[in-house]
Each structure stands twice: as structure tokens, then as C-alpha cells.
A and B are shown apart, each in its own frame.
Chain A
Amino acid sequence: MRIYVCVKQVPDTETKLKLKEDSTGIDVAGIKWIMNPYDEIAVEEALRIKEAKGGAANVTVVSVGPKSRITDCIRSALAMGADDGIAIDTAYEIDPFATAHLIHAALKKETSVDLILTGKLAIDDNCSSTGQALAEYLGIPHTSVVSKLTLQESGALAEREVEGGSREIVELRLPCLIAVNKGLNTPRYASLPGIMKAKKKPIKECTGSELGGDTFLKIKYSHFQLPAEKPPVKLIQGDSAQQAKELCRLLKEEAKVF
């Protein structure tokens, strides 16, 4: 079985964000990059599937972006136990649709693809688009926000969260794409031997322009802005009863929530 996991590097949430002076983007200097937490869950799931099959699977990690960043990200997945990687280097800004197109082009060159796993969204842009677009380009079914996954003879059985906390059980024919949610598993930490081994595992390198370039870009961000400075909190004084009364009054009369 050939499993592909799409991973992305994102700024650590703790990182303080600065904008470029001309507001065309964020200042990436000093940012600490981490693997998107949902993608880590996808890597873990792929490894567990492989283990459940007694090793009879190959886990390939795919990433699109600036070379150094994606190589780091792929190496950390290889250190967790993935077998090999595909790095698609893009020097330009990309969007989920261009990303999906490039991964599609790269996967077309692979002998076979049985299962694609990825995170339900990346915590930097929160788009949750790449997986679905990739599935459509490949002509395979997808499901997202998956918190339980079982592989069967005929396909994949996925449990996903839908509106209002309801859960849906969906069956998909293979090959398919599954975008995973929290709760599916707890990703392992890379072991020291794992990190050492990862250095020797193969990463296929290609560039975005070889695979079609930026002609697939659909959206672009401009006019970046930091949120308006919030006025300081209004602390409500008095005993609990007075505080409760005053808060209701403020919400009604000042904030006009009601």
C-alpha cells in the first residue's frame, strides 16, 4: 500500500507576528517554524496504518514551499518514521489551489497512490482547501475533519464531526483522501535513532516551475493589517451581585448586545 501524507510548515503560534513595512505580507525573520499540528496527526496515522500491516506499506511525505522550510518539515516526518519524501520547492507565494496542483502533478509521476492523508487545515491561513482541491484534481473521493479511521478491504471507513457536534460515518472507495482532525491519535515524538536515520532517507526534489509553476494561483493576499489596538479592559468593581448587575447593564446599554 502506498500512502502519501501532505505536510506544511507554519509559524509556531507563540511567535510574535510582525508585518513587512509595505503591508504586503508578514516579516518572516525570526519566526519559529513547526509542522502544522494537524499534519503531524496525519503522519502518525500513516505510520500506524503501516505498522498494523506489519510494515507492508510505504509512507511518503510531500511538502510544497521554500526549500529549506519544507526540507525541515519532511525530515521531521521522516524522523517520526516515514519512509521517503517529495519536496516541491517554490520560491514564490503560493495558495491552496496552486499547492494542490503541484502535488497533483508530482503524484501523477508516482506508480500508484492508495491513500492520501493530510491535516484538516493549516493553522497559518486556516483555509482547509488543499486536500479537497487535490482530491478533485485527482478525481478521488475525500472526507475531512476525521477523528476515527478504519481501513477495510473495499475502502476507508471514517468518522467525522459535522455541525452541532454530530458525527457522521462515511465510507470511501480507495484511493481516497482523508483530512484529519484532533482526537484521531496522539503523534509520537521522534526518537534519537529516528532522527539519525532520517538524515539518510531519500527526498525527491523538484521545483514548482518544473511542475507547472504559478499559473495555478487563484488567490493572493494584500493590505495586511494588525488588529486595531483594543481599549483596555473595563474591570467591574463591587461585590459579586453588584458586578453581575453592572455587567448586564453594560452589555445591554453600552455594548448593545441585547
Chain B
Amino acid sequence: MPRTLVFCEYDNLGIKKGTQELLTLVQKIHIDSFALLLGNNGFNFAPLIEQLGTFGVKNVFVCQNEILKYYNPESFTQALNLTVESCKPELILASSSMMAKDLFPRLAAKIKTGVVSDCNSLEITTEKVVVTRPLYSGKCTAQVDFLNSPIKVVLMRANQLPIEKAQTPSSPKVNTLSLPPLDLKTTVKSIVQGTVGKVDLTEANIIVSGGRGLGGPQNFKLLEDLASVLGGAVGASRAVADAGWVPHSLQVGQTGKTVSPTLYIACGISGAIQHLAGMSGSKVIVAINKDPEAPIFKKATYGIVGDLFEVVPLLTEEFRRILT
């Protein structure tokens, strides 16, 4: 079995779900593995380490430094490189998040290996690691073979694998790593918080998405209400992002985000091929549209031909009733 390093992402709520999926997998197949946490000096990692223990993690590398307070491709690449040198993994796993997709190609270039992002299946056996990923806007999938890659780096899309805690929690052994001083050519000057505390679309398990059928920005409230009852996030088509009804960060599709939730509810979205490119990897798709000919129905699991202004509030009520 390949010696495996899991790069852990976390937020105020703890280890992120995408990472939890990978920790579950690694623990289930009894692989020789390490988890890595990066963060600022003085950051209290104890709760996160305890959470890693609930997934049966035995070894944790922790690297703390003020230049790791915010994501910076240079300092993070160095910290990962240092970890790789200490634990000599054959496989590195991380969630295919926006940060990971920026970071790991740089790390891979540094350690002379390759990286595969957006993977939607992963199988690890004693002989090999088999991964597949979508290509051409989800119009096909392919298996990815590593060539001349001493270390395989795999970035998994969120919501592809189950999350399960270990039967008996472990108390992880903590190894600290210290980063030498670096002359950084990149500085993070400031961060403008967006939707604080909300999950990113790429990680959301449930997405309620709206298109031009919503008629105007004021009506997105309907979708926010439904999303909040479902514990999901709100997405949008390009038509409404371009119209300025919602920020571009909510756009799903070929020139927006690629999402892979368990449930995607498309309200007043026609289902243009560029929109489908971003969401056809969703497990269950619901389409609510007043036009029975709308292309979105070809991709949907369940469809309601009707007026979203009537259907959506009723759905919110019904879900509130059955879920709470």
C-alpha cells in the first residue's frame, strides 16, 4: 500500500468535509498515512488534532509560521516540500478545492511529479492507484495514469466518498516541522470577506441554483430560504451573474464553478450546454421550469414543469416540515 500524506483543509468549523472524505478512505484501507496541518504561529491546533483522531489518524505533521497564516503559494509549497522530504509519501491526497488547485501544480513541479485534479473516483490497492476524472466539460471521463511520477498527487472533488468516523478514536502523534526563513515574492495584502461562514459551491452537498427565470435580484431570497432549510448553498447561471443579480463567485458552468453536490436544484435555468458543463456531475438533479421543452429536463432526475414562484416557497415549507 502506498505511504500516503493527506493535506488537511479546515475552517472555523473544523476539518473540511472534502478532507474528511479522504481521511475516511485512508483509514478504511489501513494505509500507512500522515495528515498535514499548516497554519499561523500560535494557532491552537489541539481541537483539529483531536478531530483527526476521530478518523483514526495516527500521525500528524504540523507546520506553524506567520507566513502560513494566509494561503500563499510560495510558503505553502515550501512547507509541503519540507513535509514530503520528512515523510517520503508515495501518494498525496487533497480535496480539489480552489486553494489546492492553485497550490499542488506548483508543488508537483517542484518535486518533479504530476498532479491530477477534479478526480471523481479513487481506488487504492497494493499494486496501484486508479483515479478517474471528467474531461471536456463532463462530456466524458477517463482514467489517469501517472508517468515518471515518483509521488502521485491526487485532488478529489468533494462529495464523492462517504464520511465515517473510526470505531475507536486515536490520539495522533504530532510531529512539528519548522519552516526556514523565506524571501517571499508574493504578499497577501488584504482579504475582503465574501459570504462569511458559507460553504463554497465546490464543496456544497446541496445547491439551489437560480437563472433568468427568477426575474430579478430581489427574488433570490426565495432560493436562499430554500437553501438555508436544506443546509445548502445558492448558485446561479451566467445570465444572472452577468446581469449583476448575484456575484460572479456564484456562477456555475463552463466559465464558472464546476460543482459536484449530492443534490442540485435548478430553478428557472434553461440548461444551456455551458451551464450543464458545470453541474452534470451532480448525483441528483431537480429542474423547476415553466417550459416543458427546456433542455435542463434532459439532464434532470426529477422535474417539475411549473412556476418557480409558486413551487419554490411550497418546497421550502414542505422541507421545513419534514426535516425539522
Contacts and interface: CB of A to CB of B under 8 A. Distances in A.
A227 B106 contact: no
Interface string A233-252: 11110001101110110111
A235 B113 CA distance: 48
B108 A133 contact: yes
A177 B301 CA distance: 42
Contacts of B115: 129, 218-219
Contact of B109 (A100, A222, A248): A100
A223 B102 CA distance: 27
A145 B98 contact: yes
Interface stretch (B25-33, B60-68, B189-197, B209-217): B189-197
A227 B137 CA distance: 12
Interface stretch (A45-53, A58-66, A164-172): A164-172
A248 B108 contact: no
A222 B193 contact: no
A19 B135 CA distance: 12
A235 B305 contact: yes
Given A141-B73, A145-B98, A219 B141 contact: no
B302 A234 contact: yes
Interface residues of B, number: 98
B140 A227 contact: yes
A172 B188 CA distance: 9
Interface residues of A, number: 82
A137 B109 contact: yes
Given A13-B254, A143-B73, A248-B315, A163 B97 contact: yes
A145 B186 contact: no
B74 interface: yes
A136 B106 contact: yes
B274 A13 contact: yes
B142 A222 contact: yes
B247 interface: yes
A219 B195 contact: no
Nearest to B149: A218
Given A26-B136, A219-B114, A248-B318, A235 B109 contact: no
Contacts of A176: 185
B69 interface: no
B21 interface: no
A244 B109 contact: no
Q: Which 7 A-B pairs have the closest CB atoms?
A: A218-B114, A165-B194, A165-B249, A129-B105, A136-B109, A244-B314, A132-B105
30 contacts: A37-B255, A95-B114, A125-B135, A126-B134, A126-B135, A127-B118, A129-B105, A129-B117, A133-B108, A136-B105, A141-B185, A145-B98, A162-B98, A162-B99, A163-B202, A166-B191, A171-B189, A182-B251, A182-B255, A218-B108, A218-B114, A230-B299, A236-B303, A240-B311, A244-B304, A244-B311, A247-B302, A247-B318, A252-B322, A255-B283
